[in-house]
Structure 1
């Protein structure tokens, strides 16, 4: 069963998020280290949490792996390189959700 790693960046008043760096540097870093083991990457930029309500999240990245073993291997081998890059584009500590893809 496919496994997803969702990286969720909560919005807050003092949040900084460099979308250009994220798209031009961080995502290619993910592709460089995990490209052979991932099935896909989707990123959603938060716009709103309802009519006239600011977004609760700056961005949510969903990375799909073929299974939990592939995710575990990727994280153990090169996850640190990717995590260490996070402060280069945001001052927000991301939340993580690992799950089974049950529809998609």
Structure 2
């Protein structure tokens, strides 16, 4: 069964988020670090329609199965170390799940 990893970056008055860095550098690092284990990626950003939107970005990564997810999580140190280069002021929220639909 496919598994997912969702990372949400809360948006508050105290946070900053560098979208250009995130898309160009961090997501390239994700591809280079986790490679073939990632079956799909969707990045959704605040469209500016709601001034109270709770997140800058939510990314959903799909893995072929639990083993692929576990392998990726075991090699996440380079990605965790990169977060401060694009996001400051709060901790990202993470949801690990099974894809149901």
When normalised by structure 1's length, the TM-score is 0.90
3-state DSSP class of the match of 1:39? strand
Instruction: Measure how far apart 1:34 and its partner are.
Output: 1.0
1:1-104 residue pairs with structure 2 within 5 A?
1-47=1-47, 52-76=50-74, 78-91=75-88, 92-103=90-101
Q: RMSD of the TM alignment (CA)?
A: 1.3
Structure 2 unaligned spans of 5+: none
Instruction: Measure how far apart 1:52 and its partner are.
Output: 4.8
3-state DSSP class of the match of 1:14? coil
Could you tell me whether the CA contact under 8 Å between 1:5 and 1:62 is conserved in 2? yes
Structure 1 unaligned spans of 5+: none
Extract structure 1 runs of 4+ deviating beyond 4 A. none
Q: How many residues align?
A: 100
When normalised by structure 2's length, the TM-score is 0.92
3-state DSSP class of the match of 2:76? helix
Instruction: Measure how far apart 1:53 and its partner are.
Output: 4.3
Instruction: Measure how far apart 1:47 and its partner are.
Output: 2.6
